Structure 1
Amino acid sequence: MSENRVALADQALQNGAGLLSAAADSCTPEEERVTALSVCETVTRRLEHIQIELVASLMRDGAFADRGYRSATQALADVLGCDTVVARRRVRVAEDVCPHISLDGQSLPPRLPSTAGEFAAGRIGLRHVEVIADAMRSTAARRLAPDVWAGAEAKLAEQASAYRPGELAVFAHDLIMLLDQDGPGEREDDLPQANELHLSIRTGKLKGQLDGLTRELLATALDALCLPRGPEDDRTAPERRADALGEICQRVLDTAQLPQTGGERPHLNVIIPLAELEHRARAAGLDFGTHLPPADLRMLACDARAVPIVLGGAGQPLDVGRARRTIPDGLRRAIAARDRGCAKPGCGRPVSWCEIHHLEAWENGGATAVHNCVMLCRYHHRLLHRESGWTIRIHNGIPEFIPPKWIDRTQTARRKPPCLTVVLPMG
């Protein structure tokens, strides 16, 4: 599609959006507003399909790889400015409902042909497609004979428009269980269960699924530390287990039984603004973004197991000039305190997974100093060196990433959101 055709399409879309927006006026009859709402959903589904087709065509042509990206997901996240998990889902849908090229160069039909037809017609949305794709990837579905598998996919696509995605997921599960009459064989029953653990640093919520051996190991370790500590211990059982898990982690860190990360032994870095330190340390943060209440902060401030990093102070070697190319511990901690992990916007990889990149190459005269260094994960470090078009600058002391024109015509600088330090009142 030429640039002129894209501009015309953009103008037509804006005109249509304007008409639909006018229907939202409270003076518009309710029936017209309800109809406009349905039209919005139809337009959204059509746009979703167009977007997925564009993603698939760019993947087939190797456009992302040609620009230095090994992962279509990472490229799409940068182009659309969306989270990686969203980009990954769209790439997966493109692989399911669009034609693709085999290793020997042959054009192959969509993996889910019936679903692709319903999606292209606008009768189902992106979420419906994901539900069907997940169902057809299930262990039970993979046990079906090819013709039975194809029939199940066609049946789900046929019924999808009649169900909400949640209802479709239940229907898909029941249909596949019905077709999988033999169930898992003995060998499949013996396969190890996958371990999963999800931790939200922002909310502190923890969830996961553990296999039998891992469950037993964890339960044994918790049991040794979560008994009530006398009659005055009024903690609930869940509270005691949570405290026990924290104590287990603390003991492991204290005894140096973990491998090095980022070239040094794992430890807590307490990041304290100088102004807060001068006012009895009321606020601080840790490497993974956790904010500490005053009581915990004061405890860590006098604990040799924690490394305090004073922002704005003179206690760290913030500039070691040309003396060294390698990054000393003090300088790495200062950069980590500023960048909080990979500095690339949208990347959540923590400090322990990251490397230090010289903006001006050391061999070209670049200093090993905070103003010339940025923290990057291995993936984004390699991307930067693959001539992807991204450039980095330090602006007002903060790394900014300038996208190439093929991602953003205006090349507007992108940076991570600022770390807002929460100041709590003294108790």
Structure 2
Amino acid sequence: MALLENLTNPELLSAVNTAVDSLDDKDSVALAQAASAGIARLEAVRFRALAQLNRHRDGARSVTQEVAFALLLVDNHAGAMVAAADALTTRLPRTLNLMDEGKLSGFSAMKVASATVWLSDEDARAVDAVLEDRLADKNPDQVRKAANHAANTIDPEGAGKRAEQHRDGRRLTVRHGETGVASIEVEDGPVEKVTAAYQRIDREARALRTGGETRTLDQLRADVALDLLLGGRGGTSERSEVFLYMDLFTYLGMNDAPAELAGHGTIPAALARHISAGENTVLRRIITDPPSGQVLDLGRDRYRPTAGLAEFVRVRDRECRRPGCHRPAQTCDLDHSLPWQHGGHTADTELIDLCRRDHRLKDEPGWNYRLSSDGTLTITTPTGQQHTSTPPPLHEPRPADEPPF
């Protein structure tokens, strides 16, 4: 449609990009500011579009997943954007107007929406009015503080309730970072418990700083925290199953092909060998199809008994099959791509791994899941958009007549 085509003018943008090289410092800063103002205006358009979609669906939870697909966002951020869009177009019109004027970024506007989420519509509008002349030229952290202060001022009696609701929303999250590292975080935990936990970790870390200790205090704190979570410091050590995919020649050090850790992604061969050399490591035999690299069979010699078909599907899929979701398959639900009541079969050709949230999404009206013979899963959303996922091969596909080495 013409409206979408006119939101940005490719010819004008190309001319601006060409002229950038000739700008002095002052003009470069001015251009960056102008671009930021333009982005804010476009973000206001995006919020209105998301709010319209949410209204049409009556706030159905599947809206978040469709937005995540369409805008290539992780689910949490997509959900926050949908919630902010609803608030900005109903309870916070002045904040949205600041975006229209290019004075407030979408990220900062989401801070206002988050700070006022517990308020009544009337109180939220009052905060919106108070903030109208206070947010321009403020960075996101300043906006957050101003919005929280205004909310507490408008509804001081509700401060305790808001704190309780925040504490009720506590959760544990894992964030995968660069190659081979990840972070674990207790979000919105009770401040007194978080503070006490940190003090214990810090105390034990400092006690380990003996003459021969080479780790920094930060490294010691991280190691102590993980040891405590795994029961390794004075408790019973827990064993957890982690899926590490690497070929035999990488394991033997004959090549340095990257390996893959389910839920995290690619890791260097040297790190994979280090992890696989740990105590209690269990080696598995997995047979693959040379032309495709896909799993054909699993070895059954293992320390623990297997659930056969269920384990095969989880090893094959590695992660939740919804595109963009990286929850490891061993924590997911096994589900029929074609529902059992509609003729589905309990076979590896029809079973897929879906995390609990995406399992529930599959049953929402308008969502359709189809698994092809080559393992490609096609998801059709209520708006007709199609998204596909295929289990990654365990090795690079090679011709069937090519020797293995």
TM over 0.5: yes
Larger displacement relative to structure 2 (398-407 or 372-381): 398-407
Distance in 1, Cα, partners of 2:310 & 2:255: 23
Distance in 1, Cα, partners of 2:4 & 2:164: 55
**What is the RMSD of the two structures over their aligned residues, measured on CA atoms?**
4.9
Match of 2:182 among 180, 201, 204: 204
Residue of structure 2 in register with 1:46 after alignment: 41
1:158 equivalent in alignment to 2:138: no
Superposition deviation, residue 249 in structure 1: 4.4
Residue of structure 2 in register with 1:80 after alignment: 71
Distance in 1, Cα, partners of 2:98 & 2:182: 41
Distance in 2, Cα, partners of 1:376 & 1:164: 39
Larger displacement relative to structure 2 (287-296 or 47-56): 287-296
319 and 234 in structure 1: CA distance in 2 versus 1, 3 angstrom threshold: closer
161 and 83 in structure 1: CA distance in 2 versus 1, 3 angstrom threshold: same
Could you tell me whether the CA contact under 8 Å between 2:103 and 2:137 is conserved in 1? Answer: no
Distance in 2, Cα, partners of 1:11 & 1:382: 36
Residue of structure 2 in register with 1:342 after alignment: 320
1:12 equivalent in alignment to 2:6: yes
Distance in 2, Cα, partners of 1:10 & 1:186: 45
DSSP 3-state at the match of 1:391: strand
Could you tell me whether the CA contact under 8 Å between 2:310 and 2:334 is conserved in 1? Answer: yes
Residue of structure 2 in register with 1:403 after alignment: 380
Residue of structure 1 in register with 2:108 after alignment: 128
What TM-score does the superposition give when structure 1 sets the normalisation length? 0.66
Superposition deviation, residue 393 in structure 1: 3.0
Residue of structure 1 in register with 2:250 after alignment: 276
Q: Which has the larger Rg?
A: 1
Distance in 2, Cα, partners of 1:37 & 1:302: 50
Residue of structure 1 in register with 2:88 after alignment: 97
Distance in 2, Cα, partners of 1:185 & 1:174: 11
Distance in 2, Cα, partners of 1:128 & 1:118: 11
Superposition deviation, residue 345 in structure 1: 1.0
127 and 190 in structure 1: CA distance in 2 versus 1, 3 angstrom threshold: closer
Residue segments in structure 1 that go unaligned for 5+ positions in a row: 1-6, 99-109, 259-264, 321-326, 422-427
230 and 394 in structure 1: CA distance in 2 versus 1, 3 angstrom threshold: farther
Could you tell me whether the CA contact under 8 Å between 1:355 and 1:378 is conserved in 2? Answer: yes
Distance in 1, Cα, partners of 2:162 & 2:51: 34
Could you tell me whether the CA contact under 8 Å between 2:320 and 2:328 is conserved in 1? Answer: yes
Superposition deviation, residue 78 in structure 1: 2.0
User: Which residue identity is paired with 1:56?
Assistant: A
Residues 100-249 of structure 1: matches in 2 within 5 Å? 110-120=90-100, 122-137=102-117, 150-172=125-147, 179=153, 195=170, 197-202=172-177, 203-208=181-186, 211-213=191-193, 216=196, 227-228=207-208, 232-249=212-229
Could you tell me whether the CA contact under 8 Å between 2:288 and 2:297 is conserved in 1? Answer: no
196 and 22 in structure 1: CA distance in 2 versus 1, 3 angstrom threshold: same
Match of 1:60 among 33, 37, 55: 55
Distance in 1, Cα, partners of 2:347 & 2:285: 20
DSSP 3-state at the match of 1:308: coil
Could you tell me whether the CA contact under 8 Å between 2:116 and 2:148 is conserved in 1? Answer: no
Distance in 1, Cα, partners of 2:111 & 2:201: 39
135 and 229 in structure 1: CA distance in 2 versus 1, 3 angstrom threshold: closer
Q: Deviations over 1:290-326 (max 9, x none)?
A: 74765874674574x4443444369x98389xxxxxx
Q: Identity rate of aligned residues, in percent?
A: 19
Q: Deviations over 1:96-148 (max 9, x none)?
A: 122xxxxxxxxxxx21243244345555332332232234347xxx6x9967x
DSSP 3-state at the match of 2:326: coil
Could you tell me whether the CA contact under 8 Å between 2:98 and 2:104 is conserved in 1? Answer: yes
Match of 1:351 among 321, 329, 347: 329
292 and 223 in structure 1: CA distance in 2 versus 1, 3 angstrom threshold: farther
User: Which residue identity is paired with 1:161?
Assistant: A
User: Which residue identity is paired with 1:10?
Assistant: L
Q: Deviations over 1:336-381 (max 9, x none)?
A: 3332321111123333431122345678474623x44321112222
Could you tell me whether the CA contact under 8 Å between 1:393 and 1:401 is conserved in 2? Answer: yes
Could you tell me whether the CA contact under 8 Å between 1:192 and 1:211 is conserved in 2? Answer: no
Residue of structure 2 in register with 1:323 after alignment: none
DSSP 3-state at the match of 1:58: helix
Distance in 2, Cα, partners of 1:187 & 1:43: 38
Distance in 2, Cα, partners of 1:380 & 1:145: 31
284 and 53 in structure 1: CA distance in 2 versus 1, 3 angstrom threshold: closer
Residue segments in structure 2 that go unaligned for 5+ positions in a row: 290-294, 300-304, 397-405
Residue of structure 1 in register with 2:388 after alignment: 413
Match of 1:318 among 297, 305, 315: 297
DSSP 3-state at the match of 1:356: strand
Could you tell me whether the CA contact under 8 Å between 1:342 and 1:350 is conserved in 2? Answer: yes
Distance in 2, Cα, partners of 1:299 & 1:163: 46
Distance in 1, Cα, partners of 2:163 & 2:36: 43
DSSP 3-state at the match of 1:130: helix
Distance in 2, Cα, partners of 1:59 & 1:137: 17
Match of 1:368 among 347, 350, 357: 347
Distance in 1, Cα, partners of 2:164 & 2:248: 57
Between the two proteins, the alignment pairs up a number of residues equal to 375
Residue of structure 2 in register with 1:21 after alignment: 14
